[in-house]
Amino acid sequence: MKSARHLDTFGAIGLLITAIFSPCCFPLFAFVATALGLGSFELFGGWTMWVFQTMVVITLTGLVISYFRHRCLYPLLVAVSGALLIFFGLYFISSDYWIYCLYAGMAILLLATLWNNRRIKMHGSCPSCQPSDEINLQLKSTITCPSCHHRKTETMPTDACVYYYECEKCHKRIKPLPGDCCVFCSYGTVKCPPMQVGKGCC
């Protein structure tokens, strides 16, 4: 599901690329194609509008998925209005002004995608953004020295096991019991992160 998080961005970029490299269908972007030396080159030929509509659907789908993950409704509502404007221009306007509906709808979809990404960054990560094996991971463990019984709470590394640990009171260097991967699994109140997520010994 990681790729689905950026589906709206992929669709919005696809919209822009389709428009820029289809100067015959989107004359407003013809100067960009000319600057790139492409002239009247059509990237998708007769499939341009079908590709364009597909990118609209992909963008909307990404924003719908984002809504269910983050409950951020406003960018989705804005994007829906932009998509409706595009399809209205394509299928219900017979005059030469239909292209302006496409430009406006595309701008709205791009704005909605930028807005959605900004809101997600502003609100930080959420449980649904984290890998499933990192949810509810405990990193604090109180380790008890087997010699002097001194206790100290330590922060465990997430990507490595602590095989040796020196007690700060008696300075004895302790190591895991047979069958354990680290000192936290042997003498701590919480097992190490790899064991918590079921990855076994690190």
Q: Which domain holds residue 171?
A: 132-196
Whether pTM > 0.75 for this model: the answer is: no
State mean pLDDT over 123-147. Answer: 69
Q: What is the mean pLDDT of the chain?
A: 81
State mean pLDDT over 3-14. Answer: 77
48 and 107 part of one domain: yes
63 and 143 part of one domain: no
Range with lowest mean pLDDT among 10-24, 48-62, 104-118, 123-137 = 123-137
The last residue of a domain, from among 67, 91, 122:
122
- Structural domain count of the chain: 2
Strand pairing category for 173-174 and 151-155 = unpaired
102 and 180 part of one domain: no
**pLDDT more than 90, % of the chain:** 38
Residue 139 scores a pLDDT above 80: yes
pLDDT recorded at residue 47: 85
The last residue of a domain, from among 99, 122, 145:
122
